[in-house]
Amino acid sequence: MNKLSRKLLLTQILFLTLSLLLLGYILKIPSSQYGALLLAGTLMAVTLSLLLEKFFVKPLEQIQARNLGQISEELQSKVAEIKDDRSELRAILSSMIEGVLLIDKDEKIILLSDPVWRMLELRSKDTIGKPFWEIIRNEEINSLLEQSLKEKKATQKEITIFSPEESYFSVQVSPVWSEDLKNFAGVVAVFHNVSNLKKLERLRTEFVANVSHELKTPLTTIKGFAETLKDGAMHDKEKAQKFLDIIQKHAQRLEYLVDDLLTLSAIESRETKLNLERASIGSVIKSAVHFNKEQLERHRHKLVINTAPNLPLVLMDSSKIEQVILNLLDNAIKFTSPEGTITIQALNENCFIRIDVKDTGVGIPPEHLSRIFERFYRVDKSRSRDLGGTGLGLAIVKHIVQAHGGKVAVESTPGRGSTFSVFLPSSL
């Protein structure tokens, strides 16, 4: 008999005994018969207790046990579900490129995803429960969050961070409401890193400006001399011939520019497929030199070719690699004084075939070396244009080599010359 049953039994005995004694007093039963009444009451109480235990207490305990077990299972299930939801939320937020920051109405951080921590380079990851202005040290971001919390409205702003490096973020802050839309809960901020988009936009703007300038200069010259001829210079044969030569020169410059732009565009968009075949790099160098033979002789340059013996064949598009060497050799000829020396060498170096085009020309100042392979970038703009350059030759070199899985490099000393190096995989 359990504790509950014992309590019920004692209560029933007491209650029935008192009831029988009261009944005996009312009916004026002799006191000598009270012992029988007490015995009868006890027997009735025990019988009633046994019946209650069988038909009431035990079923009730079983129901309670089942209910408690069911409640326990449901609680465990809910806890597991919440843990799964949290794990899933963490996994989703961690895999997102965008950063997510959730702040309650009391300005305390509820959630801060890893991308936000990385984007803003926060010092500590212990951020939950702390005021956002204590963790985030950017005044623009804090003002944006404060504005949204105060006005309970969505706001958006592009923010620039200058340290440790220049970065651009688009931050969108939206209010968070309860399910019935009556209670304001806080705000959620989403951070988009738009630095790459900004960089592309800047490059696009620079490219359009450079192309416009490169096209406008020869067109202006052509137009000016054409008008001069039209106004009467055609009748002077000597002047007419001179002006026509200038027009032809600038028209040819336009043609070179358009050709280089189309070539670069085709390489960058991968519209032109490489015709890969194993070939000798020495043969490609000889072909490029033969093409520039007349120009080398005109400038009285000394050309030295050093090709290491037994170089392996390279899997390459021979015509494209020939264009690479032509562009580098053309630059060396243009920027090397008459009777200077140009050296082309090829050797095997750490799984790469290295091709060097070295000159004894004017050289390149150190501050320009990191940008020398950019489109339209010139160290000496006026001199480059006078020599007929389009500003795209080295950019074409870089993209062709990269399309072959290789890399380019440059070393230079002002006044002593430059060495441009091409590295092509010796086996692909």
Q: Where are the domains of the chain?
A: 3-88, 94-195, 274-427
What secondary structure letter does DSSP report for 57? Answer: I
**Which whole-number Å values give the CA distances from 346 to 316, 370, 377, 396, in the listed order?**
15, 24, 27, 20
Which CATH class, in words, describes the domain spanning 94-195?
Answer: alpha beta
What secondary structure letter does DSSP report for 3? Answer: H
* Segments of the chain with pLDDT less than 50: 79, 82, 428
User: CB-based contacts of 354: which residues, under 8 Å, 6+ apart?
Assistant: 346, 347, 348, 421, 422, 423
Q: Which residues of 59-96 are buried (b: 16+ CB within 10 A; e: fewer)?
A: eeeeeeeeeeeeeeeeeeeeeeeeeeeeeeeeeebeee
Provide the pLDDT for residue 82. Answer: 45
* Segment 146-155 long-range contacts (CB within 8 Å, at least 24 positions apart): 147/173, 148/173, 148/174, 148/175, 148/187, 148/189, 149/103, 149/105, 149/107, 149/186, 149/187, 152/184
pTM for the predicted model, two decimal places = 0.56
Please measure the distance between the N-terminal and C-terminal CA atoms of the chain and give it in whole angstroms. Answer: 87
Spatial contact of 171 and 187, defined as CB atoms under 8 Å apart: no
- Fold of the domain spanning 274-427: Heat Shock Protein 90 (3.30.565)
Provide the pLDDT for residue 406. Answer: 92
Name the H helices within 33-104: 34-52, 58-95
What the block records as the tokens of 271 is 């519209």
Provide the pLDDT for residue 357. Answer: 94
How many CA atoms are closer than 13 Å to the CA of 250, on its beta-carbon side?
A: 18
Provide the pLDDT for residue 294. Answer: 84
Q: In what order do the strands lie in the sheet with 417-425?
A: 302-307, 341-349, 352-359, 417-425, 407-413
Q: What is the pLDDT of residues 237-271, one digit of tens each?
A: 787 888 888 888 778 778 877 777 777 777 777 66
Q: Which of 252, 104, 269, 65 is nearest to 244 (CA)?
A: 252
Amino acid letter for position 228: T
What the block records as the tokens of 63 is 């129901």
